[in-house]
Amino acid sequence: MLVSISILVFLIFFATPGVDPAARIAGRNADQLTLQQVRATFDLDKPIHIRYVSMMKHLFIDRDLTSYVNRGAEVWPQLTQAIPATLSLVFGAALIWLVLGLALGITAAGMRKSWVDPAIGIIGIIGVSLPVYWLGEVVNLITQGRLHATLFRWVPPLGYVPFTESPGGWFLALLFPWLTLSLLYAGIYIRVVRSEIVGLMQEDYIKTERAKGAGEKRILIKHASRMSLITVVSLFGLDFGALVGGSALLTEVVFGIQGVGRLTFTALQNFDLPLIMATVMYAAFFIVIANAVVDLVYAWIDPRVRRG
C-alpha cells in the first residue's frame, strides 16, 4: 500500500501529461539553457524509474534527502519539527469530537419522539455544512478582533506554543483551533452514531434483549451504542489518519500553526518534490497504522470478531 501511494504521488508530479517539472522549478520565463541546467541538477534527464528508486533510497535508507528549493536543507528535520504541532491539534480535536459525537448521537437516538432529536439533527447538519477555514476566520475575528482587548484578553496571538515550553500556553493557543476543527467532525459523528443506533435497534439481538425484559435505557447504552462503536471506530481510523497526515492543513493555515499540513502545502506550492514525497509518505504511514489499530479495537468491541 505504502509503495503504491508513493508511486502514485511520483507519477502525479513527474508524469502528468503536459506538465514539465523542470519548467515548474526553473520558473515561468526560463530559457532553454536554464531548463537544461535544472534537469541536470535534479536528475530530471534520467529515466523515471531510476529517479524514483534513488529518491526512495535517499528518503528512507540514507535519510539525507534534501529539498529542491532550499538547496541543502534536509527534509527529515523539517518534518519532525512539524509533527508535534499537528499531533497536538488533532489529538485535542479528536477528543472533543468523539465525546460530543457519541454523547449527542446517543441522546438523539434515545429521544427520537421528543424535540431533542431534530434539534440535535440540526446541530449535526450545520456542523457538516460549515467550511472549516471560514469558521476559523470567524473565530479569529471574534477572539482576535475588537473583543480581544476586553473579553478575550486571555487568548494568545495566533501560532503554536510547544508543550515543553509552556503547558498552559500550549493549551490556550490550541483551544480555539481544537474547537473549530472538532465542530465539523462532531457533526459527522453525531449523524453517523444516531443513524447507526436507530438501525441497530431493529436487530434480532435487541429484540431478544427486549423480550427478556431489559429496560430501554440499558438496551440503548449497553447493546446498541456498543455495536455502533464498530462503525465509529472504522470512521475514526480513517479521519484521524487523514488529519494527522496533513488534512488539517486548512485549520493550520487559518490559525498559523506550523504543522505537517502547512508544510505539505508550502512544499506543493514551491514544487519541492522531495519534501512532498516525505510528507505524503508520512501521511500514508499514519493512515496504514490507524487502520491496523482499528482492526485491533474491533476485536475488543465486538466479541464475534474475537471468535471468528
Which residues in this chain contact other proteins in the complex, by CB under 8 A?
A: 1, 4-5, 8-9, 12-13, 16-20, 23-24, 28, 125-126, 128-135, 137-138, 140-141, 144-146, 198-199, 201-202, 242, 245-247, 249-250, 253, 264-265, 268-269, 271, 276, 280, 283-284, 287-288
Closest approach of other proteins to the CB of residue 129, in Å: 3
CB of 289 to other proteins, least distance (A): 12
Q: Compute CA distances 291 → 209, 242, 294, whole Å.
A: 32, 11, 5
What minimum distance in Å lies between the beta carbon of 163 and other proteins? 25
CB neighbourhood size of 10 (10 A)? 20
Start-to-end CA span in the chain (Å): 25
CA–CA separation, 296 and 120 (whole Å): 31
Minimum separation from the CB atom of position 164 to other proteins (A): 28
Query: Quick one: 214 or 253, whose CB is closer to other proteins?
Result: 253
State in angstroms the smallest separation of the CB of 302 from other proteins. Answer: 20
Q: CB-wise, 150 or 164, nearer to other proteins?
A: 150
Select 67 or 170, whichever has its Cβ closest to other proteins: 67
DSSP letter assigned to residue 294: H
Minimum CB distance to other proteins smaller for 40 or for 126: 126
Angle, helices 116-129/75-110, rounded to nearest 10 degrees: 160
Q: At what angle do helices 48-56 and 273-301 cross, to 10 degrees?
A: 60
- Considering beta carbons, is residue 232 or 283 the nearer one to other proteins? 283
CB of residue 292 vs other proteins: minimum separation in angstroms? 13
- Is residue 140 within 8 A of residue 251, CB to CB? The reply is no
* Distance, CA of 150 to CA of 135 (rounded, Å): 21
On the 0-12 / 13-18 / 19+ scale of CB atoms within 10 A, 188 is middle
198 vs 305 by CB, closer to other proteins? 198
